[in-house]
Amino acid sequence: MKKEYDFSKGVRGKYAERFEKGTNLVLLEPEVAKYFPTAKAVNLALKSLIAEGKVNLPHTDMHKPD
């Protein structure tokens, strides 16, 4: 760690509860991120696909990385 990093005012586990409630982080490929630069943009697009019935969930374990 660099000396200029100061974590003395950091709070351990600050986001742990929110994470446990279902926060899901997803890494977008760069060409996809160009079109969806924010979490709000991604969520709006996915909700639109869901509403249109264009999302087919696979029967495989969805927690495994691609």
Chain segment 10-24, per-residue pLDDT in tens: 999 988 887 778 777
pLDDT in tens, 28-37: 999 999 999 9
Does the residue 23 lie in any domain? yes
Give me the DSSP letters along 9-61: T--TTTTHHHHHTT----PPPHHHHTT--SHHHHHHHHHHHHHTT-----SS-
**How many domains would you assign to the chain?**
1
Q: Is 24 domain-assigned?
A: yes
- In this structure, are residues 28 and 42 in contact, taking their beta carbons and an 8 Å threshold? yes
Q: What is the pTM of this model?
A: 0.52
For residues 45 and 35, what is the distance between their CA atoms, to the nearest angstrom?
Answer: 10
Domain-located, residue 12: no
Residue 21 in domain: yes
CA distance 3 to 17: 30
Is residue 1 assigned to a domain? no
User: Can you give the residue range of the structural domain that contains 34?
Assistant: 17-66
Kindly state whether residue 2 falls inside one of the protein's structural domains.
Answer: no
Residue 7 domain-assigned (yes or no): no
Q: How confident is the model at residue 2 (pLDDT cuts 50, 70, 90)?
A: confident
